[in-house]
Structure 1
């Protein structure tokens, strides 16, 4: 049977195969099948698909839809089914025909015998199907009238051996009305998988915000009707996250018909209990009973399979039932229930505050204070969405305009700093201004405004100046214990870094010096290591090491990310990777997008230095998608930078240069100096890849002139060896020596093992004879050198070139072949070509490339080796910080590349 466009149902491939198989068999040898499932799970859509299959096969389709309105009309559903066959009643015997016509109201007569009617229908279907197959489709069997349901139950068991089939669909887990399904073949329709549900929403609502989509996915729980109707029940601004979502998503008309009707028929006491359970959240019957509800009232809802009770906890069988319960209640009923729950949750202040907030209508400062205190506790646990919601509600209930304004400004800052939701933040700032003319005196207002202006393409120098002036003019500017002061200083530090100029940091230092008791320890640590590690980093290293040891299992997301910033330029990001990956995973699941964004930035840096280039490429793409669809549009340059780096080292030089020029063009009018610096880094590598050492030297000196390590430009550390190599190859040996001297005087090698490798190799480039050998050997002997495969391979290449010129051919061969193997594994094509040329110049052939290494990317090769060692996809994913699905996707591509079809064949395909 050919596919039909109407049968394209996302996530229902298995069900469609079952239905196609049933139709194919039924039109030859008869039969019946019952589909069951929750309301909205897609039964009708599958019946539509089955009708398409039947018509394609030349069958006559008879369609019945049960309705509540006709449930009391005898034979109403049977009339629907057989009306198209009225002209064939003459094929029946006289008694059967008369019974059937009377039952269907075609003629008058005494009430017919039910068994006679049932036999007549069975004979009619079998007889008419002899000429052409017939398929009877019955939808919503739970609403079929009693008389018709009896006939359908009878007929379903007597179609075998005919060319007629019956496919019925009804709700699962509850009374099927009058239809007797005992003994009939059945298939229960399950909710869509998480992947299929995500695809369904994405295809129908392309612009929906990721956090909003995640909320819909959780509420719908795989129900297709809900996945389509819940987004439609939201406004455009709610779908785009510009407006916050209600506590319970509105169901919309179609979902209400499917779910609310089951709630409304319950007795009042049961509905009150279910409402309390829905609002209480945990389903703890002890709490509900303490609030004055009778747990025994749950029984009718249990019998109707709306809820289930285990271990004294009530659980709704589907989130949509919970939504229906809440939506069926009046506003006053909801408020009264919240008040009763608040009265018994005295030992749980956060939950009590929320219930008080929902129960309160008029402004009440005591409730507003309770909500604000609860928000601060929740913020410490990293739940930024809940924090913002509580602060907004606290502001709504604030009697004083100034307090309302302050609380809205705080919510705006958290929304901007942690979640990156600048559209909704701009609205909160506007509300804060409307609430009080003193709004702009709040440093949370100033900080949030700065972050919003960044995303609105504001001039960074101006934004920095406005925030610095706001801090300087604030009465609490001396108080390091004031959260608004501290948060403003963190924001000013970010702006200073993005500006990439020493004078911007000077204003931050002045603000830190004004603090009576000095800056917070973590802020001081990050500034020392992130702003200018050349001058202040060495003394701060012991503090960093202690913090990194303590933070390994820390759940404070803000602390983890700040420490990652401190660790970046001293190459200790690996010690924060677990925490960073937690932020990424949380963001993918709908958590704070800004936290996810920063974590992706840090992981891209660490991946690049550690040679995990495929993962770096995937994370950079993820970061770009995040900036486009969720948060932090301003930070897109950071991920283009990584794409430019990867393009350069892989030999796509023009692509790298184009990306770098885009960054420079974007950064100019916005005064984002760090983006220009990053672009120079990419241009240096692109020039080295192209053997254009003059351009490499020029770009390196644009970052920091030879012989200097520019103040407050830590990126110059990463290109130190690039500058020295370019200087040597362009006959600027004096400049190269001056730069090596500057690196030594600043004790850069003591900042990190990786920097020690670069400094030693740079010294080897400017030295001669045995002294050069000593430096290169020192670089390669650095502890943990294998962690930095690209840097080490470059050192081996430089060392091998030196040895070849010194005619130490045997030793050169070792270094050059090691370098070549590493470059090939990494995919660093330009450097691999250089190593091959050096080997040929030494009179040696390049090491043959294994078939696996020639056809697989570096990450594919790594995954293949781990799979060959016996690790599962889950274990490989944990080892490489990938998802099991990503590993599976890589293996799916690896198999055809290696010409194999099973996992067991990987080891042989890889070779020795």
Structure 2
């Protein structure tokens, strides 16, 4: 593995080890690095060696695999070879034992192991100083000779000498019995799917399409396996010589019958013991497997054959000749179920053959029936490759493309589209293919190219089926939302206006029943005011439940319309099936693009934990399948959450993306950056970040998302003394709110107007923003409005009026864990005369808002009167009292006066 990719995903392990090495200047340190072959143990040790050298440490290194296992203390000779002159300075009895162990002298006598241990520790102590500590690095400790292993194990667990660090690596994940006490254990677990994909994508040899997904699945997260299997799947076609030899000698050491069985098992990826035994003609005789099991190559249990390392399987397969492998596949085809029979026939056939192609196509159809879209796409693609007739080959490529669209890997979709276009002449086939290809380009962040492809196909082919044409326009509308480019919106309006009424024809792409909802979906993306009307009109098509697959599409249409209309709860409810599919890892590639809207809706409504979990899953899938804009979307939304909570970013790596043609992502990135700057007190930086969401003349760069950051921009402008600079933006926002009078837009505009404070009715703007009946649906924005209103009231010397607003805001900030805002609100409360409660006060058990409600209730005020004073609803007051009674151990308000007392 090359240095630039060999340690992907090991940042925390590198940090732990380098910290340990550099800490050797202050005392003894020891660590054991555990992991499978190829997990990066040696690479991690190399980094430790370089770190130690840069720090001025003396480095003693040895490798168990390079020692002489048949000779005692072979590894010790590697370690102490560079310090032989220092051994001569030891006392005679210690020097004698080391010389005997290292073979320097042949004096008669028996080696005293206890004295040898003392001599080893004394040597390390003498060569280590505060200015030149010693770092001992031992790779592959499990391969060390027995004598060296026992000696180093003693030194490792008993070392208390200052200025010495010992780091050893060993295979496996069980903590060795000798790694006791303060020894640090570093486990190199397999890489998760996103990191594994990152490593494969960074390799110099590109693996794309289904071959890439196959490599990721087979490698099981092992870094070396990812590199070598990717190399084998590339044009190079084979593993490196080093990797082949790493396991080759173990495979070659097997008896002939065992090696033959290993080949059958390697060729049959299913691991079915029964199929392998039938195909090989071995029947029930399992004795030939024993050498492979004893050599730790495989495990056989419950009718399955499991290779202990992915490269053992690949090596066993590659060592056989091509002819021998073809024979094995033909024998396996005779005893395998239909799906595997098709693949084995394909592996044993070179030239196009309709019989093989038809078998693969049947396997693909069976995979489609059970919802295995990746398996279906792979089988259809392979079937097309073996199909002699052009028309039938085109049809099978089209089916592969349709199935792969559910997987969503952009490179695979592009590869399939290129193969199909090269032979297709049917206009309907080309139009359907364009949908998948344009979707792939969009997922890859290439919105302009995707839009042009869909638009050109729509214009040039004029699809005969209205459903196909409507699907193309729907895709164009979705791309226009992501790009935010006005020319895309204009083209969607023009194309939709030219679309004839539904002709009632069947379309595989868009079922007839859902087409009215799809039309409303397009209209909503064109005009936010129409989205609001659709949500509020019960007889709109997006509200009418359907059956089967049409209902899934209808819910997605409704979810997007609700998001555009500022109805986040309805968006999340409509998209619930997607969240369920995501949890069960069955979400389709074509559905992933809806999830940023769902996550943003969760953040807006205060469901931050759910949003965080969703974004982690979305980012993992996006990196695995190379959906670049979704990966950046997920990062931006998670960065917003982290900033609000005063936490460092969840992910620090960046995915390259052209933000000009990904306007929605750009809006999310700038919003996250602006909020982070505000939280850190960088008001000028926040203003610069958020101001880029609008053009020089104040128009929103993204027609939907930019305006939703108006409050934050107004706050940054007010805090940085640049309120007048955003006057054009506020003026346009007034017009936008008038045309799109959603509750959120009304509240946002009033809040922004109040923050800028350039009118006589500032208090009225604050009052609407802080007390609007729907304001609580957006908890954070509501709490911010309450805080800002309270701050304004306090500046007007109306502290008593400010107090209930601050208490309500503090409740929300603490529930959401917005640390920075909680601190500001507490300081404002103290300024209004509300001090911290004494620990012994009964009210200390309550939240700040509950305390205020209880005080009012103890004074005899009714719920409605309390609600009016605290800008709450009577129902909310009643709920707080109910919870307060339980905390205080009382049964009703008649007991509150006694409990409250002077508190």
User: Scaled by the length of structure 2, what TM-score is found?
Assistant: 0.61
Could you list the runs of 5+ residues in structure 2 that have no partner in the other structure? 1-6, 129-133, 481-488, 525-529, 620-628, 634-653, 718-722, 754-759, 828-835, 837-842, 851-903
- Equivalent-residue separation in structure 2 for 1:685 and 1:446 (angstroms): 40
The equivalent residue for 1:722 is: 738
Aligned 8 A contact 2:73 2:147 in 1: no
Give the structure 2 partner of residue 638 of structure 1.
Answer: 664
From the superposition, tell whether residues 102 and 342 of structure 1 become closer, same or farther in structure 2 (CA, over 3 Å): same
For 1:183 and 1:686, the matched residues in 2 are separated by: 60
Counterpart CA distance in 2 for 1:687 and 1:135 is 57
Distance 1:130 1:72 in 2: 29
1:405 has 2:421 as partner: no
Partners of 2:93 and 2:792 in 1: CA distance: 99
Q: Give the aligned partner of residue 731 of structure 1.
A: none
Equivalent in the alignment of 2:472: 491
Residue 285 of structure 1 pairs with residue 268 of structure 2: no
> C-alpha separation between the residues in 2 aligned to 1:67 and 1:827?
65
List per-residue Cα deviations over 1:279-305 (Å, max 9, x = no partner). 444433233334335544333333233
SS at 1:848's partner residue?
Answer: helix
Compared CA separation, residues 157 and 353, structure 1 to 2 (3 A)? same
Q: Would the aligned equivalents of 1:338 and 1:356 in 2 still touch at CA under 8 Å?
A: yes
- Pick the aligned partner of 2:189 from 187, 192, 196: 192
Equivalence for 2:802: 847
Distance 1:23 1:368, change over 3 A: farther
1:597 is aligned to: 593
The 8 Å contact of residues 54 and 135 in structure 1, kept in 2 or not, is answered as yes
CA distance in 2, matches of 1:118, 1:683: 76
**Equivalence for 2:651:** none
Distance 1:40 1:376 in 2: 38
Note closer, same or farther for the CA distance 1:309–1:233 as it changes in structure 2 (3 Å cut).
closer
Contact residue 492 and residue 508 of structure 1 kept, 8 A: no
2:867 corresponds to? none
| Offset of residue 396 of structure 1 | 1.5
State the distance in 1 between where 2:820 and 2:791 align: 32
| 2:378 corresponding residue in structure 1 | 389
Q: Distance in 1 between matches of 2:510 and 2:179?
A: 75
Q: How does 1:424-435 map to 2 (within 5 A)?
A: 424-435=412-423
Q: Which SS does the other structure have where 2:38 is aligned?
A: coil
Residues in 1 aligned to 2:572 and 2:734: alpha-carbon distance in whole angstroms: 27
Contact kept, 8 Å, 2:511 with 2:550, in 1: the verdict is: no
Q: Report the alpha carbon displacement of residue 616 of structure 1 after superposing the two structures with TM.
A: 8.1
* More divergent stretch after superposition (452-461 vs 569-578): 452-461
- What CA distance in whole angstroms lies between the structure 2 residues aligned with 1:334 and 1:530? 53
Alignment of 1:568-647 (within 5 A): 572-582=570-580, 594-604=590-600, 608=604, 610=605, 625-626=631-632, 629=655, 636-640=662-666
Please state whether the residue corresponding to 2:189 is helix, strand or coil. Answer: coil
**3-state SS, counterpart of residue 39 of structure 1:** coil
Q: Which residue of structure 2 aligns with residue 38 of structure 1?
A: 36
Quick check: 1:266–1:301 contact (8 Å CA) kept in 2? yes
Correspondence 1:863 to 2:816: yes
Worse-matched range after superposition: 67-76 or 425-434:
67-76
Alignment of 1:730-745 (within 5 A): none
SS of 1:405's equivalent?
helix
SS state of the match for residue 299, structure 2?
A: strand
SS in 2 for 1:305: coil
Q: Name the residue aligned to 1:11.
A: 13
Work out whether residues 648 and 682 of structure 1, in 8 Å CA contact, stay in contact via their aligned partners in 2. Answer: no
* 1:40 match: secondary structure: coil
Q: Equivalent residue for 2:364?
A: 375
1:195 & 1:647 partners in 2: Cα distance? 28
Q: Is the alpha carbon distance of 1:302 and 1:336 closer, same or farther for their aligned partners in structure 2, counting shifts above 3 Å?
A: same
Give, in whole Å, the separation in 1 of the partners of 2:820 and 2:252: 51
Name the CA distance, whole Å, in 2 between partners of 1:390 and 1:317: 28
Contact 2:58 2:135 in 1 (8 A): yes
Cα distance in 1 for partners of 2:738, 2:797 equals: 24
Deviation at 1:515, TM superposition (A): 5.6
- Matching residue within 527, 540, 551 for 2:518: 527
Q: 1:419 to 1:666 in 2, by over 3 A?
A: farther
1:118·1:155 contact (CA, 8 Å) conserved in 2?
no
Quick one: structure 1 residues 604 and 143, their matched pair in 2 at CA, closer, same or farther if it must change by over 3 Å? closer
**Pair 832,594 (structure 1): closer, same or farther in 2 beyond 3 Å:** farther
Q: 2:380–2:397: 8 Å Cα contact kept in structure 1?
A: yes
2:542 aligned with 1:546, yes or no? Answer: no
1:304 aligns with 295
Using a 3 Å threshold, how does the CA distance of structure 1 residues 846 and 297 change in structure 2: closer, same or farther? farther
**In the alignment, which residue of structure 2 is the partner of 1:313?**
304
User: 1:301-331 CA distances to partner (integer Å, 9 max, x unpaired)?
Assistant: 3323333333333333344444444444444
Question: Deviations for 1:825-846, whole angstroms, at most 9, x for unmatched residues?
Answer: 4258579767998999999964
**Match in the other structure for 2:839:** none
Q: Contact conserved, 2:413 with 2:440, CA < 8 A, in 1?
A: yes
Query: Alpha-carbon deviation of 1:679?
Result: 6.7
Deviates more, 1:490-499 or 1:514-523: 514-523
Q: Does residue 1:64 correspond to 2:66, yes or no?
A: no
Q: Secondary structure at the match of 2:289?
A: helix
Once the two structures are overlaid, the 10-residue window that deviates more, 121-130 or 256-265, is 121-130
Cα distance, 1:490 vs structure 2:
1.8
Match of 1:739 in 2: none
Cα distance in 2 for partners of 1:13, 1:310 equals 39
Q: Tell me whether 1:659 sits opposite 2:709 in the alignment.
A: no
**In structure 1, distance between residues paired with 2:452 and 2:47:** 61
Equivalence for 1:139: 139
Looking at structure 1, the residues matched to 674 and 118 of structure 2 have their Cα atoms a distance apart, in angstroms, of 78
Q: Is the 8 A contact 1:302 1:308 kept in 2?
A: yes
Name the CA distance, whole Å, in 2 between partners of 1:345 and 1:327: 22
Deviation readout 1:837-871 (Å, 9 max, x if unpaired) = 89999999643377787689x6x64434xxxxxxx
The Cα shift of 1:50 comes to: 7.0
Partner of 2:339 in structure 1?
350
RMSD across aligned C-alpha pairs, in angstroms? 6.6
1:416-427 correspondence to structure 2 within 5 Å: 417-418=405-406, 421-427=409-415
SS across alignment from 1:457? helix
CA distance in 2, matches of 1:641, 1:55: 46
Question: 3-state DSSP class of the match of 1:291?
Answer: helix
> Deviations for 1:568-615, whole angstroms, at most 9, x for unmatched residues?
6786433333223346668xx89765532233235546765x576998
Give the alignment partner of residue 443 of structure 1, picking from 431, 436, 439.
431
Contact 2:193–2:216 (8 Å) recurs in 1? no
Q: Is the 8 A contact 2:266 2:313 kept in 1?
A: yes
Whether contact under 8 Å (1:526, 1:562) holds in the other structure is yes
Partner of residue 273, structure 1? 261
- 1:547-562 to structure 2, matched below 5 A, reads 547=546, 561=556
The 1:339/1:616 distance shift into structure 2, 3 A limit, reads: same
CA distance in 1, matches of 2:670, 2:394: 44
Give the CA deviation at 1:394: 1.7
Q: Aligned equivalents of 2:304 and 2:150: distance in 1? A: 38
- Alpha-carbon distance in structure 1 between the residues aligned to 2:331 and 2:555: 40
In 2, the alpha carbon distance for the partners of 1:71 and 1:311 equals 36
In the superposition, relative to structure 1, how do residues 511 and 342 fare at CA in structure 2: closer, same or farther (>3 Å)? farther
The alpha-carbon deviation at position 365 of structure 1 amounts to 1.7
Contact 2:87 2:95 (8 Å CA) reproduced: yes
**Equivalences, count:** 735
Aligned to 2:78: 80
Q: 1:468 to 1:10 in 2, by over 3 A?
A: same
